[in-house]
Structure 1
Amino acid sequence: MSLLGMPRLASGQALVPHVLRLDPTKLQQQGLSLAQEAVQLAQFQQYELALQRVRLATQLAPKSPEVWSLLGGLYLQTNEIDNGITALQKAQSLDNKNSAVLFALGSAYRQKGKYSQAVEYIKAGLQIKPNVPGALFDLGNTYLMMGQLSDAIVQYEKAIAQEKNYWPAINNIGLIKYESGRIDEAIQYWKTASAIDEKAAEPRLATAVALYMKGDQQQALALAEAAIKLDNSYADLKVLKENLWGDRLLADAKKLLETPQIRAAITQAQGRSSPAQQRPTPRR
């Protein structure tokens, strides 16, 4: 006997470990349960905890395209683009007819600046599930980044045709119109977008910039103050650029944002909000 009370092995004997038999069905169910927990955590922006659970879920349910898709989406949400693409490609290999995965891959490649690949994936998704406003909007954004402005407008108009109150697409047509010098048309698009969503700061600020450059300073300043109260992150030119504002509109916005009245409004708005509220994730 050994000191621990275990029998000594005779020469040539081997200790055979107990083999635990695992039920694949139960493991699959546990994996899907973890994935559901991850979804709930992500809703409260607890992304690291969500990632921990869904990574384990991929080990328990490795053949579930939904779990891999969720992992990819969480990686994109936390700006881990390459990891997101890897997970989404795994999901696609398990289910190549999932339009949501293709749309997500398109968005990921657009964020990497690989616009041709982004267009390819988004179009592939639209072939499976056409007329999805969000995907059409994303395709329009990709064309806008590529400088294909007429193609971008076509996609935005398709998105609006599917959902008439899809104000981000209306707003972005205004961005294109302004860069091409059609300021009055741009203002009309932005006013329409503002009427759809009373809490949308971006079209209000864009309208204010256009009015300021047209000489209507009183109305422009009042509108800009209202926009900044709604969301002061739009007072940051970097945020505006991330939201696809063009060079002309950015240059004009800088002039408005540097006026004493608007600088005071920005300072006051920033004092009312927490640091986390000042820089939201760009919606593009």
Structure 2
Amino acid sequence: MPHTIQLDPTKLERQGLSLAREAAQLAQFQQYELALPRARLATQLAPKSPEVWSLLGGLYLQTNELDKGIDALKQAQSLDPKSAAVLFGLGSAYFQKAQYATAIEHLKAGLKIKPNVPGALFDLGNAYLMLKQYSEAIAQYEKAIAQDKEFWPAINNIGLIKYEQGDVDEALKRWRSAAAIDKKAAEPQLAIAVALYTRGERTQGLALGESAIKLDSRYSDLKFLKENLWGDRLLADTQKFLETPQMKATIAQAQEQLSKPQSSSQ
């Protein structure tokens, strides 16, 4: 008779959970390509663990495999329907797929289970913003700020809405608050620069714009700004601003700096 290996389910599950911990550690260092195979194997060894499926779903979202992420998160949800983290993950996934109403549904369900989570409130605000439901978006951002006074992205995004509504003074007030919280945040600095330049305060606007692009040159890309939920009015004003000779020179210099380490290593 051939020898049959007896598999110990408890031991297999322990190995699966151990692999999941390894995957989670790798994910912390953004080593998703190493983390994913471990997480996939972990779901085979510990298929009844909602945490393991949730981890796999999150990794898929990080690598932009949205449909696989949703499938894994739904598996986690079937094992633990009351997990707010899984619902927040699904909300994030549907937001990335531009299914904003579905994102809102999942985020609100998660917040019913675990209210007052700043990140989830911020995501909910973003979904309302994309649907141009501005008052709802601001309400969620304000709730996020109430939970965490230092949560500058929520303050920043209220500024984005105010600018689209034509309230430049209020937008500037919000962006200045955000910039004061994190002096290395390029986004509010660039928004202030554009607003000042557009209303005639050109010298100050250009100086701030240079500083913002030096902090993070990605903000010189209109596509990147749109992904960060900048509205049509602000994008149009930013395009004019970035086409000024001074800003063009700053952008070229920043891009040259980025390419230097690559060319020296060849």
TM range (shorter): over 0.9
- Give the AA of the match of 2:50: P
Is 2:67 the partner of 1:82?
yes
Tell me which of 179, 184, 188 is aligned to 2:164.
179
Deviation at 1:273, TM superposition (A): 1.9
The equivalent residue for 1:12 is none
Is 2:63 the partner of 1:48?
no
Q: How far apart, CA to CA, are the structure 1 residues paired with 2:144 and 2:258?
A: 33
Q: How far apart, CA to CA, are the structure 1 residues paired with 2:192 and 2:84?
A: 36
Q: Deviation per CA, 1:163-196: give whole Å up to 9, x if none.
A: 1111000000000000010001100100000000
Q: How far apart, CA to CA, are the structure 2 residues paired with 1:251 and 1:164?
A: 31
DSSP-derived class of the 1:273 partner: helix
Q: Which has the larger radius of gyration?
A: 1
Is 2:146 the partner of 1:131?
no
Deviation at 1:41, TM superposition (A): 1.5
The equivalent residue for 2:126 is 141
Is 2:44 the partner of 1:59?
yes
Is 2:187 the partner of 1:202?
yes
- Give the AA of the match of 2:212: A
Q: How far apart, CA to CA, are the structure 2 residues paired with 1:232 and 1:157?
A: 29
The equivalent residue for 1:27 is 12
Q: How far apart, CA to CA, are the structure 1 residues paired with 2:139 and 2:226?
A: 22
Q: TM-score scaled to structure 1, two decimals?
A: 0.90
Is 2:140 the partner of 1:155?
yes
- Give the AA of the match of 2:180: A
Is 2:209 the partner of 1:229?
no
Deviation at 1:255, TM superposition (A): 0.6
Deviation at 1:275, TM superposition (A): 9.7
- Give the AA of the match of 1:232: S
The equivalent residue for 1:110 is 95
DSSP-derived class of the 1:164 partner: coil
Deviation at 1:274, TM superposition (A): 5.0
Q: How far apart, CA to CA, are the structure 2 residues paired with 1:232 and 1:192?
A: 22
Q: How far apart, CA to CA, are the structure 1 residues paired with 2:2 and 2:194?
A: 74
Deviation at 1:91, TM superposition (A): 0.3
Aligned residues: 262
Q: TM-score scaled to structure 2, two decimals?
A: 0.96
Q: From the superposition, tell whether residues 95 and 199 of structure 1 become closer, same or farther in structure 2 (CA, over 3 Å).
A: same
Q: How far apart, CA to CA, are the structure 2 residues paired with 1:120 and 1:269?
A: 41
- Give the AA of the match of 1:78: T
Deviation at 1:44, TM superposition (A): 2.1
Tell me which of 100, 104, 127 is aligned to 1:119.
104
The equivalent residue for 1:258 is 243
Q: Which structure has more helix as a fraction of its residues?
A: 2
CA RMSD of superposed structures (Å): 1.4
Q: How far apart, CA to CA, are the structure 2 residues paired with 1:33 and 1:90?
A: 20
Q: How far apart, CA to CA, are the structure 2 residues paired with 1:237 and 1:271?
A: 19
Tell me which of 230, 245, 253 is aligned to 1:268.
253
DSSP-derived class of the 2:2 partner: coil
Q: How far apart, CA to CA, are the structure 2 residues paired with 1:154 and 1:272?
A: 41
Q: How far apart, CA to CA, are the structure 2 residues paired with 1:41 and 1:101?
A: 20
Is 2:233 the partner of 1:248?
yes
State the percentage of identical aligned residues.
Answer: 72
Q: How far apart, CA to CA, are the structure 2 residues paired with 1:36 and 1:99?
A: 20
- Give the AA of the match of 2:182: D
Deviation at 1:276, TM superposition (A): 11
- Give the AA of the match of 1:230: L
